[in-house]
Structure 1
């Protein structure tokens, strides 16, 4: 993580908000916290747990 933070500090202007960066198998999304501050948010925090599972197409109860 220290290497990534150093890289982000050197390349702040090249990284786009919304970019996905993978570190040690964990995906992060670059978000802006205002005033040029970049934050890495784990992608798992960006998902919703309120989604409803859909019935299977074949063999689903009617």
Structure 2
């Protein structure tokens, strides 16, 4: 399992933060299709939502 940590800054007035995040996947990155001259396939590139999370996180 891979994890990532993101630092978020801002004026948080409360002790909780409502968040909505998603993990997305696509079989080819757009720059690869451009590099091989297949720009016309960019509109057909399917992006899958693999996982999502909506919830409240306590801010310390």
TM-score range, shorter chain: under 0.3
Higher RCO by CA contacts (8 Å cutoff, separation 6 or greater) = 2
- Normalising to structure 1: TM-score of the pair? 0.26
- Normalising to structure 2: TM-score of the pair? 0.27
